[in-house]
Every structure is written in structure tokens, then in C-alpha cells.
Chain A
């Protein structure tokens, strides 16, 4: 695949899917069995890792514990034998960039996790690399820090206009940060697209399941011509093209929970009768677990303190539009 200049692309997938390995191939720490890595049309596949002009931020920060913050950030320049005043000017510049001026004389063990990771970022950027590689940089941090730091990373990346590849298993991170997301599984690419695309129009069952909560149930094609399916005895219409299938064939149908609503609010093209199994209050969202004969599905509705919800055990009707019904490969 190709990453455009200035883009932040996330590699998203479960543990073991190969996203970190791919990143390490770009960095030069792993050798690919086939294929090439090209930066600006130049083939760097066989370059050793210290001759690639990519900057890497590691999951475990990897700051050199025997050096101060300033020495860490300046290490790349020291190796490149830059002048001392050039080095210190650049170090100060980087410290300002990560909003940590005056921290130059501290040692890594005196810093918090979030601070260490910012220094690691500055260290990677100090040499103005062509590409910034980030290997799950936020996994080792507290939840609160994670959110603020990822915003900071994104804004720095935008400010510098630097091309970045970001590896993560956290889909919220991937969706909120990226220009595009590459969803991976078992060493293969499942889908490449913008966050909007992969969430709303997943192309495979894996992507649909991995990104966000999803209801995936089996349905039977009734009439491909009029886009009608039978879901557990009840009729469902989809906006997707069913011409590939014939009547009687089984397909997997996916509906996002937030696309459902109670009929009391609005009646859309599809109507499903079900029984309430459980209602979970999640804060801004209320997750309703419903049962349609054999299948359990989830419906997310916005929290409204003045709206009376049905009780567990009640039979209700829920509705969704034609477009909400996705057919998975």
C-alpha cells in the first residue's frame, strides 16, 4: 500500500496480526521475505536501520537511562557529528514543541510515563526524519494521559506536516487520530479506508466485528431483485445490492447498534419484533439487549432521563433504515 506525504495512517488489528512487524520492516529491524519498502521512490529495503532517515517511537519509550533529556534528544545529532550550538538550539526547539521547556537536565527516571513518551517523540523528530513511526506509543500509559497525549501527537504531526505510521490495537485511538486506517488480521490487510469508511462501510466480517460494536446475524435471501431478506422469520429490506446472491442463500447481515431506534420515535423501513433481555446504562448511551428468537442483538440509544424505557421481558418493536442493513462478504 501507499502512504501519502503528510498523512497519518494507522495500522489497526489484534495482537499477532503483523502490524508491529510491518512497522519494524519499515524501520529496518526486520527483513521482509518478499517485497520492497520505498520512501520517496527510493528503495530502502536493504538499508541498515541506521541509514533510513525514519524516526521511531517505541512502546516502552526506550529513552537512554544514563542520559539527560537534552542528551537523549540530541543523540541523533551527536552521532551525526553536528556542532554543539546547532545541537542545543535544536534541542530547545524540540522541547518547546512537546511543551516541556526547561526539562533538559532531567533524567528519564525523574519523569512520568507521559513525559518520557513526549521526550521519545522529540528525540525521534529532532533529526527531521521523512517518516515518523509509532509503535503503540500509548499502550503503557494511563487512560487519561492517553487521550491528551494522542491529541498532542496528532497536532504535532499536523503542525510539522510529517508522514506518520501509527500502530495500535485500540480502535478508538485509530479512529480519532488517523487520516486513513489499515485494518489487519493474520498478516493480511482486511480493509484500507478513512475512519468513517471502515466504521460505516466495513467490507469484511472481521472489520465489522473489530471496529465498534456490531450485530452480525445470519439471514436468508428472499428476493435479490427487491433486496429483501428474511431474518429469523421476519422481513428485512436492505439498500445493498443483492444481485450476487440467489433466493434461499444464507448471508451474514450486520447492523450497527446505534442505527436501531424504538418505533415510538420514528418508523423506518424495517420493523423487527423482539423481547428485551437487558438494559445497561453506560452514561451517554443506553445499551439495550434484545432477542429475536435465536439471535441476541444490541441497540444503542441516547440517554434521555425523561424517556421511559421498556422493562426487561417486554416485547417491543425496533426499527432501522434500509441503508443500515449491511451485507458482509
Chain B
């Protein structure tokens, strides 16, 4: 049993199918996991690796850094990154703040008990209501013939769209993204707020502290890794969004995901090498996000004793 940890059940005795010596049973488990590993290699690692490799390839196939140079010099690409990052920062911070407040309101804010499961259910649904239907819903809300537009017109006589106001920009899209961003925050924060033990607050009061001192010195520091980590997650979530943006504004708003989509669909302006560089740039940013998130999770776990 030299290579197995102490947790494994003893397999060679007992009535497992024909009594096999320990090493054979050990192989069984690996066989069980192999299909998954093959799948991961074929459809996750290799595509990612090919993107990595090809982003350093010129049209002739030789090694080049030209793709990355183009990445940083073409204005439309730079703008795409700016817009994508801008929306991601806006909706991650905004979603984090509003989601936190909402979670607080329902868990610690003294609202009736039944509202909490209701809010969590809605958040679960809302965070899944992304993509095409969400885009259409917001167009029906704020667009040219949208409900809000019509209401404002009938109340004040002003046609807001006539004056050049449009929702098809970074700000409008951000409002759409928020719809699935802050429910995510709520779903993660609600259990985290539960984890704030009431004894901490009582101990703080017992030692003379006020409620705001409790939050300042104890609760926020404890929650900060979770809050930060989720904000980072929200950032990545927004950065990688494609369907919602495409259905909402097509290629009108310049985003990194839209650009990559254009390359895939054979848009002439972007050669494959550049497409790979774009994709790699995206993977890089998402990787940073995941690392940030993982780090924050570990910090949070340390204190949740």
C-alpha cells in the first residue's frame, strides 16, 4: 500500500470482483479518470496551447512578435481593450457594491425572514438570464420603442432618443451586464454574511465597541477577501461576455470578445495571427483574474474557523 494515502479502503480483501492484488486495483481508478483527462487535454489544453503557439506565428509560419506589436498599436484594438476593461471594472465594482448592499439588507438588515430565500431564488434565475433574451429585454426597456422611453415621453413630452441619447454604448451595455453581475454577488455574499458569527458582534459590544466600529475593525476585514475575490470574478465574468453584447449591439460596441468573434467569422480586417494574439491577451487577463480569486479564497478560508 505504499503509494496510496491512508484514506483508501482495503480493496484486496473482501469481495471486490476477483480478488486483485493492490496494484491492479490502483490501476482501476486511473482507468476511471482517463477519459476525463483525455477530454481535458484534447479540448482544453491543446486549443489553449495552439492559441499560445500561433500567436507567436507570422503569416509565413515563422516566430514573430509582430502580432503583439499590432495589438498594442492598432487604435481599434486598443479601444476594444479599453472598452472591455472599462465595462468590466464598472460592472464588477458596481455589481459588487449593490450586490453586497442587497445581501446585507436581506441577511442582516432586519427584513422579514421569508425575503431571503425569495431573493436568493431570484438571484439564481437572474444570473442565468444572460445572453440573447436579456439583451432583448433591455432593448424593450430602454430602446427607441422601449417602455421607459415611452413613459418618459408620455409624462414629459421629451423624446430622449431624438436628442442623440443612445443606450448602445459602454454605459448602456453596463446596465445590461449588471443584471447578471449583482445577483452573482448576492449569491456569494449571503452565505459569507452568515459566516459572521453573532458572538463577534457581541464580544465587540461587550468591549465597548459600537456597531460601526464592529464593521470597521472586524466585519469588513474578515469579509474583504470574499468581497475582493468576488469582484475579481465579476470582472472576469464581464470581460468574457459575448452573447449579451452581440445581441444587444452587434459589432457596434467595440469589445475584445466581439473582435475575436469577428475573426472567427472570417472578418478580413483581422488576420489569424492577430486573432490568436487577441485570444491570448484575453486568456492572460482571465488567468490573472482566476489567480486573484484563488488567492482571495485562500485568505478567506484561513479566517473562517
Contacts and interface: CB of A to CB of B under 8 A. Distances in A.
A76 B197 contact: no
Nearest to A75: B207
Contact of B302 (A64, A76, A109): A109
Contacts, number: 73
A123 B303 CA distance: 19
A62 B303 contact: no
Interface stretch (A50-58, A285-293, A297-305): A50-58
A49 interface: yes
Residue of B203, B209, B217, B221 with highest tally of chain A CB at under 10 A: B203
B207 A76 contact: yes
A196 interface: no
Contacts of B202: 27, 29, 49, 56, 58, 62
B205 interface: yes
Nearest to B207: A76
B103 interface: no
A304 to B, nearest CB: 46
A66 B302 CA distance: 9
A225 interface: no
Nearest to A59: B199
B206 A55 contact: yes
A124 interface: yes
Interface in B180-236: 197, 199-200, 202-210, 213, 217-218, 221-222
Interface in A185-214: none
A127 B208 contact: yes
A65 B305 contact: yes
Contacts of B205: 28-29, 48-50
A79 interface: yes
Interface in B114-148: none
A35 B304 CA distance: 39
A27 B202 CA distance: 9
12 contacts: A27-B206, A50-B204, A50-B208, A54-B206, A58-B202, A62-B202, A64-B203, A64-B217, A67-B218, A76-B207, A79-B208, A80-B208
Given A27-B202, A48-B205, A58-B202, 20 more contacts: A29-B205, A49-B202, A50-B205, A50-B208, A52-B206, A54-B206, A60-B199, A63-B203, A64-B203, A65-B303, A65-B304, A75-B204, A75-B209, A75-B217, A79-B209, A108-B305, A109-B302, A109-B303, A109-B305, A124-B207
Interface of B: 197, 199-200, 202-210, 213, 217-218, 221-222, 302-305
The 5 A-B pairs with the shortest beta carbon distances in the complex, nearest first, are A62-B199, A76-B207, A65-B303, A66-B221, A49-B205
Interface of A: 27-29, 48-52, 54-56, 58, 60, 62-67, 75-76, 78-80, 108-109, 123-124, 127
